Structure formats: C-alpha cells, structure tokens
Structure 1
Amino acid sequence: MLKSLRFGTNDVAKSRAFYDATFGALGVAPSATPADYPLIMYNLPGGARFLCGPARDGQPATHANGGTVVLEAPDEQSVRNWHAAGLANGGTTEGDPEPKPQARGAFGAYLRDPDGNKLGAYFGLNMG
C-alpha cells in the first residue's frame, strides 16, 4: 500500500504554488508546512502523503523519464480545473482535458510541474 510519494524540486516556492493550486482543484487542502521549511507536504485522500523538496543528495532535481503519477478527480470539471490551475502556476500541458482513448474513454488530462515531473488527473478511470 502506498504511504507516501516524493518528487524533487529545484524551487520549493514554485512547487508550492503549483501543487496548492492543482491539488486544490481536486479538493486537497493546501500544504500546511511553513513557507521556510525545505519541503512541502499534502495529505491525499486515502491516507497517502505527497511530498516535494530538493533532492537529498544535494544535486539538482530531475524528473523521471517514463514516470507518471495519476490522480483521481471527482468529476470532469475538476479535471479541467486541475489542468487550468497547473497551467496558471508554472506547469506545462502534456495532454488537454478530454476523453482519452488509451484509458477506455475516461476523462483525463496531463501536466508537467515546474520541474518536469509528469502528472495526470482522471475521472472515470477503471484500472481493473
């Protein structure tokens, strides 16, 4: 069972703005970690935590090639809001909000965060 997921960032403030906005569009509360803390943390539905901070080895953070984290959205409008919030907060699109043929028509969208980490948000995705 997933307990936590951590992404690297080279700019915690940019990541906070991006994730506060995108997670907020999915009903997740903003990060409660203090602004001067070296990372941000979010409590996701189901009990998992999402963390984002500098790489522990002191080297620049880089994104995973081929890695994507997919989030569950409560409805199609939340997917649209998530995508728009990401674009407005330093993210770049990797797929507009629409029914996705690769996901049996589930409604989804993809973004890269300011550090290049890839995320998706879906409504109606059935992985079974």
Structure 2
Amino acid sequence: METQLLHRGRLIDHIQLVVADLKASRTFYDAIFDALGVPIGGAGEDYFWIDELFVSTADSDAAQGKLTGRHHLAFQAIDRAMVDAFHKAGMAAGGTDHGGPGERPYHPGYYAAFLLDPDGNNIEAVYHGDHERSALSVEIRF
C-alpha cells in the first residue's frame, strides 16, 4: 500500500455523496476545493475523494446502487476572502447560488456562502471570524 496522508480535525471526518453525473461533480468540487486550498486525494472510474469527502456514482461498490442528494456540507475557510473565492469558483464550475458571501446570524463573525452542487446538495464555506487554532489539522500517515 502506498503511503497516504489524511488530515483530521477540520470539523468533518468524512462524508460520501452519491451523484448522478460524476464528471459534473468533479468539475464543481475541483473548483471549490482549489479555492479552499484542499488538493484532490485520489480518483477512480466511478469515484473521487478530497480529504474527508468521497464522491461516487450509484454504480460504485461503496454506494450500493442508491442515489442520494439534498445534503448540507459546510467546509471551513481560513478567512473571508477564501469564502468569496469558494463562491466565485463554484459558480463558474456549474454551481447554483444558494446564498452569496455575507455575515449570517448564527454567531458573531459567522461569514459564509452557500452553493447548490450539480445534484442539489447545499454546500457551504464558512469563516467563523477571528479566532486561534492550536493546529490547522492533525496529520495521519499510513
């Protein structure tokens, strides 16, 4: 097995989305994760993964033949500019606006943008305002 590097501690451990059009989803997720500074982890004929997110077709062994959709995923951004870049990149890559960049009432400093991906999933990037982190993530190598 080749050495792999995973990051944990960014709010989400992992999520799988089963999508109707893998190519459209790959275009969308490549664009928004490039804007968020998260590289592609790997890909196969019927799937791809980016850190904690695994995206596959319904024909993938991992999907067990069922389409899903209408999920809400929130990804962390390091600042407001990254939230803005996420929204712009997602719109250019086939996403649909579901709430442009701006402050939200969830707590002081909550700055977010929302997009619908090609399968209608509600995808968010959020910056929680000024704060300190002990580390960006925990690295796991195997």
* TM-score range normalised by the length of the shorter chain: 0.7 to 0.9
Q: Provide the rounded CA distance (Å) in 2 between the counterparts of 1:3 and 1:102.
A: 22
How many percent identity over aligned positions?
32
CA–CA distance in 2 between the matches of 1:75 and 1:117? 23
In 1, the alpha carbon distance for the partners of 2:116 and 2:110 equals: 20
The range that moved more, 116-125 or 100-109, is 100-109
Partner of 2:89: 85
Q: Which of residues 11, 14, 17 is equivalent to 2:27?
A: 17
Matched residue count: 116
Structure 1 gaps, min length 5: 44-48
Larger Rg: 2
Cα deviations by residue, 1:37-91 (Å, 9 ceiling, x for unpaired): 1011011xxxxx21111233434x2423xx4111110110110000011111111
TM-score by length of 2: 0.73
- Decide whether the 8 Å contact of 1:20 with 1:31 is kept in 2: no
Where 1:70 maps in the other structure, the secondary structure is strand
With the length of structure 1 as denominator, give the TM-score of the two structures.
0.80
Q: Identify unmatched segments of 5+ residues in structure 2.
A: 1-8, 132-142
Alignment RMSD (CA, Å): 2.0
* 1:98 maps onto 2:102 in alignment: yes
Supply the AA of the counterpart residue of 1:18: F
CA–CA distance in structure 1, aligned partners of residues 25 and 17 of structure 2: 10
Q: 1:114 to 1:103 in 2, by over 3 A?
A: farther
Work out the CA distance in 1 between the residues paired with 2:23 and 2:112. 27
